[in-house]
């Protein structure tokens, strides 16, 4: 059992949880994730490690309430415990090899790029950060990024905060203005990651994406998170979650995300009564 130490609401359906998990905090690195089982009968749900404190033995996760398990988690309060908290899983981001990167986060993808920005700052490398959200109230971690990014660019689809547009508009504008990057890290909804990869292909910039495929066991055994990358079969949980965005078959990956929609909708209805 792992105790919830604090909960902070970041956006209408997104909360930040700080959870006691000393063994995970001891070994985790940016890019990795945990699998949480909320209660004894719960399913295994993956969340990116958004932050960690090795001294306090804590892990921070950002949770967007979209269905049964995330809503069950949303019902817990400070002092409650989750049934299981397994990790760190997946491969860490290979950040050291790049001097100048741009981190692009859409929606809950912010959870993945924040530890990357923090790590880059700690090794004296600079990261420009583009954060995209549908509207102002969905923009998260602005203060945290201001402390860790070389430049922070915020865009909203409806123009309600900072610049109006999509993350791809901002990235294109930066590249056209002469900005040079060794790599682009893009994390967010799959259509967003595909759009970024399509853009950077034209500019010949290496692009890494973090694949949030549906996972079941998180150990490479069930095949749930299967992807095709460069024509080869890969499993997001053990081979990823990060892959070369120019090689991922996004059409197939997005199609697989819809496989369990009816069952999930049924669970959600039961939770809402």
Ligand X SMILES: Cc1cc2nc3c(=O)[nH]c(=O)nc-3n(C[C@H](O)[C@H](O)[C@H](O)COP(=O)(O)OP(=O)(O)OC[C@H]3O[C@@H](n4cnc5c(N)ncnc54)[C@H](O)[C@@H]3O)c2cc1C
If one asks whether residue 225 binds ligand FES (CB under 6 A), the answer comes out as yes
Among 24, 59, 62, 186, binds ligand X (CB under 6 A): 62
In 3D, which of 181, 175, 50, 177 has the Cα closest to residue 117? 50
- Which of residues 5, 222, 247, 254 is near ligand FES by CB under 6 A? 222
Q: Establish if 48 lies at the interface with ligand X (CB under 6 A).
A: yes
The stretch among 52-60, 165-173, 246-254, 264-272 that binds ligand X (CB under 6 A) is 264-272
Residue 4: exposure state from Cβ atoms within 10 A (0-12, 13-18, ≥19): middle
Judged by CB under 6 A, the residue of 111, 120, 183, 192 near ligand X is 111
Q: Tell me which residue of 53, 25, 212, 64 sits closest to 118, measured CA to CA.
A: 53
82 binds ligand X (CB under 6 A): no
3-state secondary structure of 65: coil
Q: Say if strands 100-106 and 84-89 run parallel, antiparallel, or are unpaired.
A: unpaired
Q: Which residue has the tokens 């004894």?
A: 40
Q: Give the range of 92-100, 140-148, 171-179, 260-268 binding ligand X by CB under 6 A.
A: 260-268
**Range in contact with ligand FES (rule: CB under 6 A) among 76-84, 177-185, 202-210, 216-224:** 216-224
Report which of 167, 143, 140 is spatially closest to residue 155, judged by C-alpha positions: 167
Task: Kindly tell me which of 198 and 249 has the beta carbon lying closer to ligand FES.
Answer: 249
223 binds ligand FES (CB under 6 A): yes
């Amino acid at each position: 059992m792992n105790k919830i130490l604090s909960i902070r609401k970041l956006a209408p359906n997104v909360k930040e949880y700080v959870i006691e998990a000393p063994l995970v905090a001891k070994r985790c690195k940016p890019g990795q994730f945990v699998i949480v089982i909320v209660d004894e009968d719960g399913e295994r749900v993956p969340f990116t490690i958004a932050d960690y404190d090795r001294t306090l033995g804590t892990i921070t996760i950002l949770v967007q309430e979209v269905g049964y398990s995330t809503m069950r988690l949303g019902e817990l309060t400070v002092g409650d415990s989750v049934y299981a908290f397994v990790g760190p899983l997946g491969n860490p981001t290979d950040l050291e090899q790049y001097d100048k990167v741009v981190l692009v986060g859409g929606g809950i993808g912010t959870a993945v790029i924040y530890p990357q920005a923090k790590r880059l700052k700690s090794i004296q490398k600079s990261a420009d950060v583009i954060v995209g959200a549908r509207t102002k109230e969905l923009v998260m971690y602005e203060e945290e990024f201001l402390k860790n990014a070389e430049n922070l660019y915020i865009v909203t689809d409806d123009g309600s905060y900072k610049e109006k547009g999509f993350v791809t508009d901002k990235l294109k504008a930066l590249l056209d203005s002469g900005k040079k990057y060794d790599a682009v890290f893009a994390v967010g909804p799959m259509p967003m990651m595909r759009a970024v990869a399509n853009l950077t292909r034209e500019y010949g910039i290496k692009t890494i994406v973090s694949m949030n495929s549906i996972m079941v066991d998180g150990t490479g055994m069930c095949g749930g998170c299967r992807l095709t990358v460069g024509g080869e079969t890969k499993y997001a949980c053990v081979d990823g979650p990060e892959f070369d965005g120019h090689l991922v078959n996004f059409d197939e990956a997005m199609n697989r995300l819809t496989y369990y929609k009816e069952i999930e909708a049924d669970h959600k209805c039961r939770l809402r009564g």
